[in-house]
Amino acid sequence: MTTLSTPLAGLWLPLITPFADGQLDAVSLRRLVRHYAAQPIDGLILGATTGEGLTIDEDEAADIAAIVAAAMAEGARRLPVLLGLAGADTRKVQRMIGRTADWPVDGYLISSPFYVRPSQEGIFRHFAAIAGGTGRPIALYNIPYRTGVNITNETMRRLAAACPNIVGLKDCAADAAQSAELLRDRPPGFAVLTGEDAGYYQALVHGADGAILASAHIATARFAGVAGLLAAGDQPAALAAWNAIAELPRLLFAEPSPAPIKYWLHRAGLIDSPEMRLPMQAVTPALAMRLDRAMDRWS
């Protein structure tokens, strides 16, 4: 079984996918990779929610993986990469993974089946079948307010016990009690990373191994610094550092993500266009004004 080059821990960035005139913007993507490889992050997620993965076709996903790998090879630092996958048909997800076997990615972030709302036994068998078809590590993605179904802690523990390559979780359960219970009684070696940007500090305080944060496209070092201060045992300083940036997730999720992030990155010169793919829309003029004011503060 393949293992990640670094543990599934720390701050991971779910990278946006830049577009221009309806096409993948390779130039901006390379620029983003060079920029974030120099930031204190521990890994990248490609083609997931923030990367508008459901609007990306297979050829584009292959190009994204290749461009990211090449950009990192040109620099001094290689980050581990997980590819985001989603699907409601187990067979189709298995086939997708099979077609990515030679792609330059280290593993997968896979959300629970959406729309069909399977039972917990169905969820277990879905992920077990997928995990059995690859030697690469898999992180589960539990986000019931998008998929319509929750992966219970019992099901996650069953999967971790049955499938050695299911190594962790992006936790967007939006249920503080469930998240806390999993952190108290998680399987050995099973990593829990929060995906709730606004709950970043609290998740770390309660023992999460890290986070996958769209907001960390902005003020990346500050987000990483919160975790660093907690690791050093300075909780008061960590809380102060978090309070200083806590408004950013609220602002960046004031309208459907990743439109606000793309607007910011475009204004900062990191991508050539803030273009979104339908049905997603660019930010409204009112939010653009708020983002402009925030950029003046954070620049």
Radius of gyration of the chain (CA): 18
Among 252, 255, 258, 194, which residue's Cα sits nearest to residue 226? 194
Q: Is there a contact between 206 and 181 (Cβ–Cβ < 8 Å)?
A: no
Candidate list 36, 108, 170, 201, residue with the active-site label = 170
- Say whether 263 is catalytic: no
Phi then psi for residue 293, to 5 deg, are: -65, -40
Tell me the β-bridge partners of 110.
85, 140
Q: Residue 23's beta-bridge partner residues?
A: 20
Structure tokens at 56: 């990306």
Q: In this structure, are residues 112 and 148 in contact, taking their beta carbons and an 8 Å threshold?
A: no
* H/E run at residue 166: strand 166-171
How far, in whole angstroms, is CA 268 from its chain's centroid?
22
Query: Is position 141 annotated as part of the catalytic site?
Result: yes
Please state the length of the chain: 299
Residue 146 CA to chain centroid, in angstroms?
Answer: 14
Which is nearest to 49 in space by CA: 284, 256, 249? Answer: 256
Nearest Cα residue to 14 out of 79, 74, 78, 72: 79
Distances (CA, A) of 79 to 40, 75, 97, 181: 11, 11, 21, 31
Estimate to the nearest angstrom the gap between the alpha carbon of 131 and the chain centroid: 19
Catalytic residue among 36, 141, 200, 263: 141
Catalytic residues: 141, 170
